[in-house]
């Protein structure tokens, strides 16, 4: 008998693992290479489903702003004192942290709901037939803005609610609302080249309105950063500017936006513009008046939390309608289908169809 090495027999009895699949290879399963393409190949959503998915993402982008404002207005900004965990030892809040912990952690959980809504919009846009690359890119743009804002939100907590990071957090949320609004509008129109519905001078006036509205929102974050609602019951540094002076500047900018909106409505009536731009401008004017009433009431009543929260919600709605006014100045019908080449007939087939002469 020949002696055998014990290690060799153990090696023979040891089960071997199969090769790890390479998801980058062309012959890999499609659901591993590209899950979105795998779903798109098996599901075609109706256009109304795509529109609802985009609208859901837009609504959630507003909800996350309002609930974030509730966190600040209730003094729960440091309800979870660290990030990404709620405490050093717990991923979620504990009973000892009280109501502030529940409010802050609840707002963090809503970020996952927002991600789910944006993901649903991406899947629906990717699965639509025919495939619209621009629509899918708008969905992915929302995803990356959400990821960036989640990291920035963590930085806000780690730096103890520094007012400059809080302002940046809100401005990035406004950017998310802008992208979501554009995607929602694009789901309701085609991919043909946009056709202007008004003249160039009107378009320039609306761009002035958009710029003034963006500046109004930016100055509003300074009012927040210098105002009394710091976001926590402890001592939090504020922006070193006079709060009332910045609030008055904010009011002046609001009146500029209202004046531009009224001027736009007057010009649209004068040039006999289509109903779409007129309706969006009229709606924006009503929203601005309501927002102005809330702003003045909260200013003269020492900034009650409920009115401040309503003003934040109104800011989101105002921003959406400013963008809707801009997008209503053109129309984009469905793109014409590309002509398909007709295959040439075989000579024998053509001869048999023609028959004898």
Are 77 and 204 part of one and the same domain? no
- DSSP β-bridge partners for residue 183: none
Name the band, by pLDDT with cuts 50, 70 and 90, for residue 229.
Answer: confident
Are 165 and 52 part of one and the same domain? yes
Residue 29: inside a domain, yes or no? Answer: no
Are 271 and 146 part of one and the same domain? no
pTM above 0.85, yes or no: no
The answer to whether residue 244 scores a pLDDT higher than 50 is yes
Final residue before a domain boundary, out of 159, 191, 223: 191
Helix (H) or strand (E) holding 331: strand 330-331
Name the band, by pLDDT with cuts 50, 70 and 90, for residue 128.
Answer: very high
Q: Which of 40-49, 111-120, 322-331, 343-352 has the lowest mean pLDDT?
A: 343-352
Are 149 and 228 part of one and the same domain? no
Are 105 and 187 part of one and the same domain? yes
Mean per-residue pLDDT of the chain: 85
The answer to whether residue 51 scores a pLDDT higher than 90 is yes
Separation CA 261–CA 266 (nearest Å)? 9
Residue 10: inside a domain, yes or no? Answer: no
Final residue before a domain boundary, out of 171, 191, 211: 191
Residue 18: inside a domain, yes or no? Answer: no
For the stretch 86-125, pLDDT in tens is 888 888 888 878 888 898 889 999 999 999 999 999 999 9
Range of the domain at 309: 192-331
Are 137 and 256 part of one and the same domain? no
- DSSP β-bridge partners for residue 196: 330
Are 212 and 266 part of one and the same domain? yes
For the stretch 16-38, pLDDT in tens is 555 555 444 444 455 556 788 88
Are 134 and 40 part of one and the same domain? yes
Are 224 and 307 part of one and the same domain? yes
Average pLDDT over residues 170-198: 93
Residue 257: inside a domain, yes or no? Answer: yes
Are 115 and 240 part of one and the same domain? no
Residue 157: inside a domain, yes or no? Answer: yes
Residue 237: inside a domain, yes or no? Answer: yes
Looking at the structure of the chain, the number of domains it has is 2
The answer to whether residue 349 scores a pLDDT higher than 50 is no
Residue 169: inside a domain, yes or no? Answer: yes
Separation CA 161–CA 172 (nearest Å)? 16
Are 210 and 152 part of one and the same domain? no
Identify the DSSP state of 58: H
Residues 6+ apart with CB under 8 A from 53: 45, 117, 120, 121, 123, 124, 125
List the beta strands (DSSP E) in the chain.
195-196, 330-331
For the stretch 190-206, pLDDT in tens is 888 889 999 999 999 99
- C-beta atoms surrounding 262 within 10 Å: 13
Final residue before a domain boundary, out of 176, 191, 206: 191
Name the band, by pLDDT with cuts 50, 70 and 90, for residue 334.
Answer: confident
Helix pair angle (133-158, 47-73), 10° resolution: 10
Average pLDDT over residues 285-291: 96
- C-beta atoms surrounding 300 within 10 Å: 8
């Amino acid at each position: 008998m020949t002696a055998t090495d014990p290690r060799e027999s153990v090696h023979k009895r040891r089960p071997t693992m199969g090769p790890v699949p390479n998801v980058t290879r062309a012959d890999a399963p499609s659901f591993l290479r590209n899950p979105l393409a795998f779903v798109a190949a098996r599901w075609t959503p109706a256009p109304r489903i795509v529109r609802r998915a985009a609208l859901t993402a837009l609504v959630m982008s507003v909800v996350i702003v309002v609930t974030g404002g509730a966190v600040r207005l209730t003094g729960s900004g440091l309800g979870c004192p660290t990030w990404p965990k709620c405490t050093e030892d717990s991923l979620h809040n504990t009973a000892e942290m009280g109501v502030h912990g529940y409010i802050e952690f609840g707002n963090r959980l809503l970020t996952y709901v927002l991600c789910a809504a944006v993901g649903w919009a991406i899947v629906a846009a990717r699965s639509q037939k025919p495939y619209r690359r621009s629509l899918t890119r708008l969905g992915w743009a929302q995803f990356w803005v959400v990821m960036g804002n989640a990291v920035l939100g963590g930085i806000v907590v780690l730096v103890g609610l520094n007012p400059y990071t809080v302002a940046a957090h809100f401005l990035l949320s406004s950017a998310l609302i802008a992208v979501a609004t554009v995607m929602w509008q694009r789901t309701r129109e085609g991919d043909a080249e946009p056709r202007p519905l008004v003249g160039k001078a009107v378009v320039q006036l609306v761009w002035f309105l958009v710029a003034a509205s963006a500046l109004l929102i930016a100055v509003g974050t300074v009012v927040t950063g210098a105002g009394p609602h710091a976001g926590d019951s402890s001592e939090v540094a504020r922006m070193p500017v006079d709060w009332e002076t910045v609030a008055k500047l904010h009011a002046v900018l609001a009146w500029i936006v209202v004046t531009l909106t009224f001027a736009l409505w007057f010009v649209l009536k004068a040039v006999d513009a289509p109903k779409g731009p007129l309706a969006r401008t009229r709606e924006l004017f009503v929203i601005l008046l309501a927002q102005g009433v809330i702003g003045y009431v909260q200013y003269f009543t020492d900034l009650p939390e409920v009115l401040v929260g309503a003003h934040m919600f109104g800011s989101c709605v105002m921003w959406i309608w400013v963008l809707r006014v801009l997008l209503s100045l053109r129309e984009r019908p469905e793109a014409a289908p590309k002509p398909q080449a007709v295959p040439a007939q075989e000579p024998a087939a053509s001869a048999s169809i023609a028959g004898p002469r």
